[in-house]
Structure 1
Amino acid sequence: MEKENSIMPLFYKITLFFLTLSGFGQMPIFKRYYIADIPGLGWLANFHITHLMHYIFAGIFISLVVYSSLDFIIFRIDSARITKIIIIKIIIYLGLIITGILMIIKNFSGTPFSPNFIILLALSHFLFCILLLFFLGYHLTKKFKT
């Protein structure tokens, strides 16, 4: 069990990297700023590739969150305490997952979401993404200072 848990942070990092890359790839920034013109990175300008990639890594991310939650509830609830950092992480993860699922539902035909709600949904998803990036950046700089 210990060996399995030591590899989980690596899975999280890889998944979050590709989720972020594919999420920003769905906005036309890679083509606009000529990043897609760098040899080997042309696929970043293809919306369909980044969209599919985002869905695949979102599924992996949700699986990792569910696995970690169940692992905590079943095996560590007595020995671990929930800190403010963990609460912030839970809120950000839940915000990303809920807004992401609602955005998937929005993509189905016949969804009764209003245009204003769709804009709010997209901005909320982006806000949670930025919060996660700031949160991770803060912890990386804090880790390197000590």
Structure 2
Amino acid sequence: MTNILRKLWVPVMTLMAITGMGQMPIFKRYYIADIPGLAWLGQPFTVHWVHYIGAAVLMFMIAWFTTLWLAKQRKLTASGKLRIMLLALLIITGYVRVIKNLPDVHFSPTSTMLIDWTHLLFAILLGVAAIWSAQTGRKDYVIK
């Protein structure tokens, strides 16, 4: 199971990045949704729910890896600590965005913008940290 989840990590994160960008109407605006097979990216409701489903899968994967990490009591690498911190901040801001989207919850426009921008910022920083870790050979989260 762990090997399957490790192989799914990059595709799930890629799906989250694509559907996250799809929350902004860029795919229809720049005609990416006109490419055969990508029309679903131009449907905001579909993109929104695919992002939520991807988040649920991601939460399961994180829970699985966290349980294994706690059971084995391994130490984290420096790049692992950085990426986990960024992922935690991304998740927290994602949860706040979910709360913001509930029908009876209302945030001010400034708060909404701040939540959206911080979520986007942490997503970008996590992507940069992941690429940096891969390019410098620091792929592992834990010391083996």
Pairwise same-fold verdict (TM > 0.5): yes
Query: What does 1:11-90 correspond to in 2, within 5 Å?
Result: 11-74=8-71, 76-77=72-73, 80-90=74-84
CA deviation profile, 1:117-143 (whole Å, cap 9, x unmatched): 211110010001101111122123224
1:91 aligns with 2:85: yes
Q: Which among 102, 119, 129 is matched to residue 125 of structure 1?
A: 119
Which amino acid is the alignment partner of residue 127 of structure 2?
A: L
Which amino acid is the alignment partner of residue 45 of structure 2?
A: H
Shift of 1:45: 0.8
Which amino acid is the alignment partner of residue 48 of structure 2?
A: H
Shift of 1:40: 1.4
User: Hey, what does 2:100 align to over in structure 1?
Assistant: 106
Q: Secondary structure at the match of 1:36?
A: helix
Shift of 1:110: 2.4
TM-score (norm 1): 0.87
TM-score (norm 2): 0.88
Q: Secondary structure at the match of 1:109?
A: coil
State the percentage of identical aligned residues: 34
Residue ranges of structure 2 left out of the alignment (5+ in a row): 138-144
Shift of 1:112: 4.3
CA distance in structure 1 between the aligned counterparts of 2:134 and 2:80, rounded to whole angstroms:
15
CA distance in structure 2 between the aligned counterparts of 1:86 and 1:36, rounded to whole angstroms:
35
User: Hey, what does 1:138 align to over in structure 2?
Assistant: 132
Residue ranges of structure 1 left out of the alignment (5+ in a row): none
Which amino acid is the alignment partner of residue 32 of structure 2?
A: I
Structure 1 segments, 4+ long, off by >3 Å, are none
CA deviation profile, 1:87-124 (whole Å, cap 9, x unmatched): 11111111111111111111112214332221111001
